[in-house]
Structure 1
Amino acid sequence: MNLEVRIQEVNKRIEEACLRSGRPAEEVNTVAVTKYVSTDMAAKVLDSGLENMGENRWQNAEEKWNALGHRGIWHFIGHLQTNKVKDVIGKFEYIHSLDRLSLAKELEKSAAAKGLVIKTFVQVNISGEDSKYGLAPEEAAAFLQEIQSFSHIKVIGLMTMAPFEDTAEATRMVFRGLRELRDDLNRQGVTQEPLTELSMGMSNDFEVAIEEGATWIRLGSILVGKQEEE
């Protein structure tokens, strides 16, 4: 299956999930996760009309960004080491994995030096798995309050990763939990501006994530494949 066909199929499934949940499809943004494909394939992704590009490690992204960074909107979606902040600031418009104060401080320092405001998602470990990064849900409010004064970080929403399950339906409570946490934080008025975005859902569970309120889905193999294809 080539790239064009995969995009058409994914878009159809997004529209159907939105229809089931009574949402306009325009509310859902797709990040094409290109970590497993070559620079040439990443260029084809951009040529196809997709503009949001997701990478999870700077070491893997560097060649692609140097060749294509002027074209897309780049999202850093993986765990970000504090000593790698200098590499990604100014290149990635969105950071999906803000999960600790030391990282927030480094992002604020580096963004301030460049005169930038970085859009971020706070990563929350809804499932409670030891293998997952992210704040515990009960830590989110205090963390958001602690970084309120960081004027070069704009928290726009929350992000989570669900466990890999045999059926997508088994992930529903994780995605629902993130939506409910966001709504609760907004009711509390924890942030100066309401959190509007939810980054959740990947190739194996994105439809359930959409039904539970995802506004950004992160799709790799189902959308762009794992190796270069014509």
Structure 2
Amino acid sequence: MRIKDNLNAVTLNIHKACKKVNRDPKEITLIAVSKTKPNEAILEAYDEGIIDFGENKVQELKDKINEINKSDPAIHWHFIGHLQRNKVKYIIEKVDLIHSVDSVRLAKKINEEAKKHKVYCDVLIQVNIAKEESKYGFEEENTLQVIKEIATLEHIKIKGLMTIAPYTDNPEDNRENFRKMKDLYVDIKSKNIDNVNMEILSMGMTNDYEVAIEEGATMVRVGTGIFGKRKYV
């Protein structure tokens, strides 16, 4: 299938999921996860109306931005992978949103680099909702306290939460994880913490984005469902 056909299928699934729970599809931002994909594929998706793209490697992101943005600055770039502190400086002015703030030390480094560049950086706080040893992120019970600490950093703006749910063949297996994330999101939003604007709940990928939407996701990160299986080199 072509990217256009894949996108049509994903869009249809998003609309079906929204209809099921009486949500407006306009509430959902589709992020095309373009890691390992060539620039031509990104531009093909862009031509079909996708403006949000997610990358998880700093060097690959830099290379793509440098090349693609020569011709089209309208793309919104999202950093969705584990971010090492020594690489923050390379993307601080290049991305619209960092999804994966998984430690206070990383948040402080982002703040430091943003201050140097005289910018403000929008971030999501990553939660390891399923407590997987292989995943980064804060545990659910520590998230509120961590957010209160990170919110004091002047050059960071907390925009919401992100999680990477366990990989599963049955998306229903993650419904409870997504439900917990929504509950946490609502609870933190209700606290009205200064410098915390709970606008975004980033959860759900190719295997389970429909269930994530049914449980409250506002951003879904779809790679294989749009571009096909990844080719690693």
TM-score range, shorter chain: over 0.9
Unpaired segments ≥5 residues, structure 2: none
Which amino acid in structure 1 is aligned with residue 190 of structure 2?
Answer: R
SS at match of 1:131: coil
1:87 aligns with 2:111: no
**Cα pair distance change 1:46/1:175, threshold 3 Å:** same
- In 2, are the aligned partners of 1:99 and 1:123 still within 8 Å (CA)? yes
Instruction: Name the structure 1 match of 2:56.
Output: 56
Contact 2:179–2:215 at 8 Å: present in 1 too? yes
Q: 1:197 to 1:178 in 2, by over 3 A?
A: same
Q: 1:157 to 1:12 in 2, by over 3 A?
A: same
Aligned to 2:8: 8
Q: Please say if 1:107 is aligned against 2:103.
A: no
1:24-43 matches, within 5 Å, as 24-43=24-43
Deviations 1:103-154 (A, max 9, x none): 1111111111112111111000000110110000111111111122212111
Q: For the Cα contact (< 8 Å) 1:42–1:64, is it kept in 2?
A: no
Asked which structure has the greater RCO (Cα within 8 Å, sep 6+), the reply is 1
Q: Which residue is equivalent to 1:154?
A: 157
Q: Does 1:174 align with 2:177?
A: yes
Report the TM-score when normalising by structure 1: 0.95
- Match of 1:128? 131
What code does the residue aligned with 1:77 have?
I
Contact 2:157 2:195 in 1 (8 A): no
Point out 4+ residue stretches in structure 1 off by more than 6 angstroms: none
Using the TM superposition, give the Cα deviation of residue 83 of structure 1 relative to its aligned residue in structure 2, in angstroms: 0.6
- Contact 1:37–1:226 (CA under 8 A) maintained in structure 2: no
Q: TM-score, normalised by structure 2?
A: 0.93
Task: Give the CA RMSD over aligned residues.
Answer: 1.4
Structure 2 match to 1:142: 145
Aligned length: 228
Structure 1 residues not aligned, in runs of 5+: none
Give % identity: 39
Would the aligned equivalents of 1:32 and 1:53 in 2 still touch at CA under 8 Å?
A: yes
Q: Confirm or deny: 8 A CA contact 1:144 1:191 kept in the other structure.
A: no
Whether the 8 Å CA contact 2:88–2:109 is kept in 1: the answer is yes
